[in-house]
């Protein structure tokens, strides 16, 4: 997907596009921000608080916490 298209769509809907680094977004705990370790195939567990789940979910939760998703879009 082209970044030009994303910017155009965001402008069309009155939203801003902010790029954030995606490094470590799927291996950081969305609750306490500690490092998570893989304990099974595509299953991660936080070494600090014990939260566990799949990397895709962590990535979305962490990116939302970094303000890359608009709360306006998520509330629809």
Count Cβ neighbours within 10 Å for each residue of 30-45 and write b for 16 or more, e otherwise.
beeeeebeeeeeeebe
* pLDDT digits 0-9 by tens, 4-52: 898 999 999 998 887 777 776 778 888 888 888 888 887 888 889 888 8
The model scores a pTM over 0.85: no
The residue whose two tokens read 């195939």 is: 41
């Amino acid at each position: 997907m082209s970044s030009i298209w994303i910017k155009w769509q965001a402008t069309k809907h009155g939203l801003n596009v902010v790029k954030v680094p995606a490094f470590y977004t799927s291996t950081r705990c969305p609750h306490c921000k500690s490092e998570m370790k893989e304990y099974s195939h595509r299953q991660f567990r936080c070494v600090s608080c014990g939260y566990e789940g799949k990397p895709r979910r962590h990535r979305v939760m962490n990116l939302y916490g970094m303000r890359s998703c608009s709360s306006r879009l998520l509330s629809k």
